[in-house]
Amino acid sequence: MGATAKLNLSSERFYRAAGFYYERLGGACALFPALRTYFREPITLQRAEEQVKRNLAARDENFLALIRTRVYDQPSSPYLKLLRIAGCEFSDLQGSVRRHGLEPTLIKLAREGVYFSPDEFKGKKKVARSGQSFRVSPADFDRPDAPAGFVGQSSGTTNRPVNSTISLDWFATTVCARSLFFRAHNLLSSAHAVYDAILPGMGAINNLVINAKIGMAADRWFVRKVPSRSRLSSAYHYLTTYEIVLAGKWFGPGFPKPEFIGDPEIHRVIDWIVKERQSGKTCFITTLPNHAARICRAATELGTSLEGAKFYVGGEPFTEAKEEAIRKTGAGFTSRYSFGGAMSVGYGCANPLERDEVHVTQDIFAMISHPDPIAHGAELIHPLLLTTLHPTAPRLLINVASGDYAAMSERSCGCALEEAGFALHLHRIRSYEKFTSEGMNYFYGDLFELMEKTFPSEFGGAIGDYQLIEEEDGNGQTRLTLRVHPDVPSLDEERLLRRLEQELGKEHWINQFQTRVWQEAGTLRIKREIPHSSLRGKILPLHIDRSLK
C-alpha cells in the first residue's frame, strides 16, 4: 500500500471516528437537563423499600408484559425465533408462568433451546437450534425507546466490545436495591470513595450516579490511569465525565472530581482513610479486588491500620489471597456481581457464609443455572442465565449466559436484603470462558489457534506445550502466565512475550486497550513449566488456577 493510500485510509478513519463522536456529543448535550432532573429527585429509603416490594410482587406479570410487547409483538425479535423453534406461543408461556412460576418456566425454555450463549449473544457464533440457524448482534437486544443517558462500554469480554446507552431511568430503577444494601451494611453515614476509571469504563460512574440518587455524595474519586484509544475518544469521554460531575455538584448532593493516581501514589487512598477515621467516620471504598489488595499491601508495608474501612469489590474473582491482604490491615469487605457493566445483579450479603456471597436483585432480574451442564476442564458446570424483568433495562435479556457459573442457594441469613425479599444467594462466582485481571475480561475461545498452531510454528514445540494460566502471585495479584513446556528448546522469552501481547491486542482497539492495561500492571509473564492437564490428560489453551476460589 502506497503512502497516499495509507494517508487516505487514515483520513477516512479519522472522519468516521469524528462523525461517531459528533453524534454522541448531541446526546451529551441532551444529557445535562436530564441529569438535573435525576439528581433533584432523590429516592428515600422508604420509597425504595416500597418499590422493591411492588416489583417483587409483580415479577411474573412484569415478565409477561415485556415478552408480549418486546418479543411476540416484534416479528424481528431474536427471542421470537427461538420461541417459534421451541413451539412456544404466548398463551403457552403465560400458562406456564402462572401455573409453575417464572424460574421453572425459564428452566423449561432453556431445555428447549430458548437461551443465548455468550458467543451467540455477541454475534461471534451462529445460533443453531433444531436444524435452523441465524446470527444476531448485541444491538438486536437494545431497548428501543431509551431516553437520555450516556454511552459506556463493557470491559471487553469479546473481540468486539459492546457499547451501551445507559439511561438515567435505569439507574433510578436499580437504586432501590442499592438503598437496601447500604442499610443492610450500615453504610448510610460512612465516608465514600471510588477507585476506578472514568468513562468509557462503567464501574465508577455507575456507582457514583446511583449513590447520588439516594442522596449520598462520594467524598473522593481516585482514578486509575489507563491507556486511551485516541484523542477523539479521550475528548468525548472526558467531556461526558465532567458533565456528569458538574451536574452532580450543581443539582445533586455533591460529586467528586476525578483524581488521577498511579501505583506509586496509592498512599493517597490510605491517607484519606486514615484522615476520615481520625474524624470519627468509617470509610467505604468501591473498587476492584486487585486494587483493594494493592491498597492493603501498601498499608501493611507502611504499618498503617485500615481498621473500620470496608472495601466493596467486584469485577474479578475475589480470592482467599485478596481477602487475606485486606484482613491484615483490619479492614472489612463485601462483594458485588454485575453483568454487562450496568446491570447490578447481586449485592453483598451482610451476614455471609462465603467471601463473595451476594443476594440476587430479584425485583428486576431472574437468575437460573442452565439445566444442561457443559465441560469445564475436569468438571461439569452449569452456566448462569440472566433474564431482565424491567422495561428500563438497557437490553432485554431472556436466558442470556453471562459467561459465569456459581453456587446458587436460598437460605435465611437475617440481613436486610433477605428481609426485603431477596432470597437467592450466589457465591464462588467464576468465569468459565474468559480470564479476568485488572478489571479487564478476555474470552479465550480463539486461543486454540494461537497456542496449538501459531506459537509452536514460530517458537518451536508442539500442541500442548503452550498454555495461558490465570493465577495469583504471592501478593494476591491476579497474573496471566504463559506456561511453556521446559522441553521447548532455545526459547526467546522476550520475543514470545511481545508476540503474546500482540495477539491479545488483535482485532479491535478494546483488545489493545486491555493489553496495555495488563502491560502497565505487570500482569503478563512467562514461566517454563509443564502445562496443566485434566484428569483425562486434556490440555486447554487457558487454565484457571483452582486456588482462585
Span 316-360, pLDDT tens digits: 778 777 888 899 999 999 999 998 767 899 999 999 999 999 999
Instruction: Sketch the domain layout of the chain as residue ranges.
Output: 60-114, 154-359, 444-544
pLDDT computed for residue 330 by the predictor: 97
pLDDT computed for residue 541 by the predictor: 64
Q: What is the pTM of this model?
A: 0.78
- The partner residues of 195 in beta bridges, in order of sequence, read 222
Q: Which residues of the chain have pLDDT under 70?
A: 1-29, 148-165, 225-230, 341, 376-378, 433-448, 463, 505-522, 533-549
CA 173 to chain centre: 18
Burial of 385 (0-12, 13-18, 19+ CB in 10 A): buried
Among the listed residues 432, 427, 431, the one whose alpha carbon sits nearest the alpha carbon of residue 375: 432
pLDDT computed for residue 29 by the predictor: 66
Is the separation of the CB atoms in 21 and 193 below 8 Å? no
pLDDT computed for residue 434 by the predictor: 55
pLDDT computed for residue 535 by the predictor: 37
Q: Which CATH class is domain 154-359?
A: alpha beta
Grid cell at residue 232: 477523539
pLDDT computed for residue 101 by the predictor: 97
Three-state SS letters, 99-117? HHCHHHHHHHHHHCCCCEC
